[in-house]
Chains A and B, each alone.
Chain A
Amino acid sequence: MVGSLRGECQVSSPASALPNSSSPLRIAALVKRFGQVAAVDGITLELRKGECLGLLGPNGAGKSTLIRSIVGRVIPDAGTISIFGAPADSMAARNTLGWIPQELALYPRLTCRENLQSFGRYHGMGGAALEQAVERCLGWATLTDRAGELVKNLSGGMKRRLNMAAGLIHQPKLVLMDEPTVGVDPQSRNNIFEMIEKLHAEGMSLIYTTHYMEEAERLCDRVAIVDHGKVIALGTNAELVQNAFGSRSQVLARFAGTDDRVAAWVKERGGHTVEGSAQFTIEHPTEIAGLLEASAKAGFELVDVSLRKPNLESVFLHLTGRELRD
């Protein structure tokens, strides 16, 4: 059972002092170069209030640089970032922004409660307000009964949940989550989803980066796909599929044997082989018959065939290609 972060107790937080009229996050023509390489190459992006925006991209696409620019840890070469109207790295922006890094950025020899207290103090909190925030975050992360446990003794899933709670201790209005489910079991992952859905339902504005497409499909209102430092696609899940594939479907076929002849034939027919399966994009389901007939003529033994509508992963691979990036 995931506890609520709002409503149970209203405490004044640094974030409450900020103007509420601006967009949670506005990025305009952002550029960051490392030597000759443009890690971020003119990104413009706006997060709507209460929205969960997924940020997807292959390794090295520029996501991390973008995120670190938003939290003020990278100084851009050009462009602007404003958080509720305040420049990134300003004290006002820091107060209103919560960052949940991919690393377990916690003090291992402190207890869960002591960790939350420390990060709360770093945000200028103290006294009863801090204690209430700590209790609230412990409840949200389902860690109330482990409050006195040293972090180094927690399981991977608990550490992940505490890592998230530490980013929310100062009641931010915009939260950046950088792959918060890395390395956790399915149960913990589900629990984390529920925590995020709770935040979302409470009206929190979220940016969520992940390599798991099903997470983005489940949690995000819109998705931005980043590659080579640019946003190459932006929209809802359905919009992205529609833009990438229109009404086309995908046929997945498996043939007996894995010889090169099969791969060559698949390529010749405009498809590609993924993990031993041939994938073809077709305009109409009736085209399956033609494909199967051609494979039989080529002498391949069909083992399995299925038809599916393209999903976010299909879009991602379609847009970013299949070559290894690292």
Chain B
Amino acid sequence: MMISSIVRTALVSLRRDRGALALSFILPVVFFSIFAVIFGGRRDSTPKIKVIVVDEDHSRASQRLVQGLKLEGALLVKVRPEPVKGAEQAEYSAATAETAVKQGTAPVALIVPRGFGENPIAFGPADANRPTIQLLEDSSDMIAPQMIAGLLQKVAMTSMPDLMAEQGSKYFDQFAGGLTPEQRGRLNDGIRYLRERQDSGAASSDSGNGGGIVAVTARAVVGENKNNPMVSFYAAAIGVMFLLFTASGAAGALLDEAESGTLDRVLSSRVTMTSLMLGKLTYNSLLAFAQLLVMFLWGWAVFKLDFWSHIPGFIVMGVCTAVAVAAFGLLLASICSTRAQLGALSTLIILVMSSIGGSMFPRFLMPESMQKAGLFTINAWAIDGFTKVFWRDEPISHLWPQVLVLVCIAIALFAIARRVARRWEYV
């Protein structure tokens, strides 16, 4: 009887506490859905790995290899940059491909060197004089380079069967004393058939498996000198998420003050609502910046993050991120009536923003649709900016898109918060 009474009281309380209800039932479902989309690989948005391919050789073998890579379902092969204002761009060169990887356009670039077609495949130990495909990688993406290295070998096997046979016969000549003219003639017929079949596009790329037959040299062009590749990413990713929590908590002081009557008293002095909110925005921004500073200093002290050579970029991104999260916190506080409501709403929104914005899981590993959705979050822009500074060593001038978006977010959120706060201003 007593137990049922307690259960009944708790149920009635829960029913009336919308925040707790949302946290209990909506948040888990939302979270489940987000991670199901990221990891579940929905067919319409299966992530493709973007790879830039530069064919310096233009031989039959290199063209086949490129064609084979294009046929791979898991890859999105780019041989030239996206058109600018409808104008077709020139094909990537080794240099422009490297720049593109550095700028994060693609995690991997493959450079098929001049002379590759003369001796495209080989079995056995590597030959130092043989032209090797260069694989330029962004080591912040730990999956794409390895996957492409493996696929490259597979494509070599499946896209050049004639060359495989030809190379096999050469080995036979070298080590087994050669073929009789009759045997040679048949083999050449077979190779011709394979070549014709390949040229006609009849061969598919979805069979075969192998490794090491195409010589590849992998080289990290981003993060090659970093002590700890993912520390800067996670300092920003986790940092922004907690900044959002702290900012909404700090902005909740506005609710406390409204509830205690302090807000009324303050607004009956010379302080206006706009100056009060600007004061809160400044304080919350300073708090957020200090949090980021502590986070990155800890990263430097413990995880060898290269902090001191990125101070200007850190300040630019830190200030923009701090102001944006502070404005976000103020908006949340101004639309809530109580601390409890703010706690529930902020948890819900921040966790969702953090999961799709890349604070929990890198965005480049998400499906494309999810990556686009992430652009509606503060997290994504802040993390992108910090990654440019700490990972790609890009100059401050390259931060303009992130700075512009974060500043616009801050202004828009603050303006809405100020408008909503009119409910406290006058009755």
Contact = CB atoms under 8 A, between A and B. Distances in A.
B261 A103 contact: yes
A292 interface: no
Given A101-B264, A105-B260, A75 B427 contact: yes
A122 B262 contact: no
Top 9 A-B pairs, shortest CB-CB distance: A103-B261, A122-B269, A105-B261, A105-B265, A105-B262, A71-B268, A74-B427, A101-B261, A122-B271
B270 A68 contact: no
B253 to A, nearest CB: 9
A101 B265 contact: yes
Nearest to A176: B268
A99 B268 CA distance: 8
Interface string B188-207: 00000000000000000000
Nearest to B259: A103
B266 interface: yes
Nearest to B263: A105
A226 interface: no
A123 B261 contact: no
14 contacts: A73-B268, A74-B426, A94-B269, A97-B268, A99-B265, A103-B260, A105-B262, A119-B265, A119-B269, A122-B269, A122-B271, A123-B269, A124-B270, A170-B269
Interface residues of A, number: 26
A72 B268 contact: yes
A198 B90 CA distance: 88
Given A73-B426, A75-B427, A105 B264 contact: yes
Contact of A95 (B262, B266, B270): B270
Interface of B: 260-262, 264-271, 426-427
Nearest to B426: A75
Given A94-B269, A119-B269, A122-B269, A102 B261 contact: yes
A201 B261 CA distance: 29
A297 to B, nearest CB: 54
A180 to B, nearest CB: 13
A91 interface: yes
B285 to A, nearest CB: 20
Nearest to B276: A122
A123 B262 CA distance: 14
A103 B265 CA distance: 10
A104 B265 contact: no
Task: Count chain B CB atoms within 10 A of each CB in A94, A97, A167 and give the residue with the most.
Answer: A94
A106 interface: yes
A106 B266 CA distance: 10
A166 B261 CA distance: 13
A212 interface: no
A73 B269 contact: no
A166 B260 contact: no
B270 A123 contact: yes
Nearest to A73: B264
B21 to A, nearest CB: 30
Contact of A106 (B262, B269, B270): B262
A107 B265 CA distance: 11
Nearest to B253: A107
A149 to B, nearest CB: 18
Interface in A62-113: 68, 71-75, 91, 94-95, 97, 99, 101-107
A122 B265 CA distance: 10
Given A73-B427, A75-B427, A95-B270, 16 more contacts: A68-B264, A73-B268, A74-B426, A97-B268, A101-B264, A101-B265, A103-B262, A104-B260, A105-B260, A105-B261, A105-B262, A106-B260, A119-B266, A122-B270, A122-B271, A166-B265
Contacts of B269: 94, 119, 122-123, 170
A61 B269 CA distance: 26
Contacts of A107: 262
Contact of A73 (B260, B262, B267, B270): B267
Contacts of B268: 71-73, 94, 97, 99
A75 B423 CA distance: 12
A104 B265 CA distance: 10
A227 to B, nearest CB: 21
A110 B189 CA distance: 93
Contacts of B426: 73-75
A12 to B, nearest CB: 15
A17 to B, nearest CB: 13
Nearest to A108: B260
Nearest to B267: A73
A103 B266 CA distance: 13
Find the residue from B264, B265, B267, B426 having the highest chain A CB count within 10 A: B265
